[in-house]
């Protein structure tokens, strides 16, 4: 009888998802701090919100409770609302200055 070689399967636990979410959140946060294009900063916000969603879903799955998944729906709705208002603001700036860089926002200072 041929002895089967034991395959070592890495089990993907909740920790992995949480770590991934934390990394995504950090990437988004650093992007907000470093990048100067308003659209990219906007995408970073979306990335952070999705990291939050991943955290909620994995934790909800881990606990076997539904409320975390309910929360995700609300976060998605809020993200959509933010897209509407944010893109409108960015477009109205872009029309005036034909640039979406936040460097042009230097009128008010002091």
Partner 1 sequence: MTLVENLMINYVVISPTLSLLFTVIILLFCTITISTPMYIKKWVSFSGVLLTLFMVFLKFGLYSTDGISAYFSNMILSDPFSLVGNTLIAFILLFTFSSFWKTSELIESKTTEALILIFMSASGFMLMVDSENFIMLFIGLEIGSISLYALAGLNRGDQLSNEASLKYFLLGSLASCIFIYGIALLYVSLSIIGLYEINIAINYIGLNNVPLTSFIGIIFIIVGLLFKVAAAPFQAWAPDVYQGSPTGYVGYMAAVAKAASFIVLARLITVSLRFILDQFDLFFSAVVILSVLGGALFATNQSDLKRLIAYSGVIQSGFILSGISSGVFGVSASTFYLITYIIQLVGIFTVFSIISGQLSSDFQISNISGLFKENKFITITFAIFMLGLAGLPLTSGFVSKFILITNLWSYERYVLVSVLMLTTVAGFYFYLRPIWVAAVEKTENVVERILLKKSDKLLLSVLAALTIYFGLLPNTLVNITRWMVESYL
73 touches 57 (CB < 8 A):
no
User: Could you give the 3-state DSSP secondary structure of residue 92?
Assistant: helix
* Choice from 37, 69, 75, 101 touching partner 1 (CB under 8 A): 75
**Hey, which residues between 32 and 51 contact partner 1 (CB under 8 A)?**
32, 38, 41-42, 45, 48-49, 51
- What are phi and psi for residue 101, nearest 5 degrees? -80, 145
**For residues 58 and 24, what is the distance between their CA atoms, to the nearest angstrom?**
14
Place of tokens 């946060």: 29
Q: Does 68 bind partner 1 (CB under 8 A)?
A: yes
Describe the chain by its helix, strand, coil percentages, rounded to 5: 75, 0, 25
Q: Does 101 bind partner 1 (CB under 8 A)?
A: no
Q: Does 31 bind partner 1 (CB under 8 A)?
A: no
Rounded to the nearest whole angstrom, what is the least distance from the CB of residue 78 to partner 1 in the complex?
5
The residues of the shown chain that bind partner 1, judged by CB under 8 A, are: 18, 21, 25, 28-29, 32, 38, 41-42, 45, 48-49, 51-52, 55-56, 59-60, 63, 65, 67-68, 70-71, 74-75, 78, 81-82, 85-86, 88-90, 92-93, 96, 102, 105, 107-110
């Amino acid at each position: 009888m041929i002895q089967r070689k034991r395959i070592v399967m890495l089990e993907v636990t909740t920790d992995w998802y949480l770590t991934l979410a934390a990394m995504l959140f950090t990437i988004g946060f650093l992007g907000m701090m470093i990048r100067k294009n308003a659209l990219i900063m906007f995408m970073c916000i979306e990335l952070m919100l999705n990291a939050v969603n991943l955290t909620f879903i994995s934790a909800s799955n881990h606990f076997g409770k539904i409320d975390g998944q309910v929360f995700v729906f609300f976060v998605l709705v809020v993200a959509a609302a933010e897209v509407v208002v944010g893109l409108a603001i960015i477009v109205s700036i872009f029309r005036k200055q034909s640039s979406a860089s936040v460097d042009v926002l230097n009128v008010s200072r002091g």
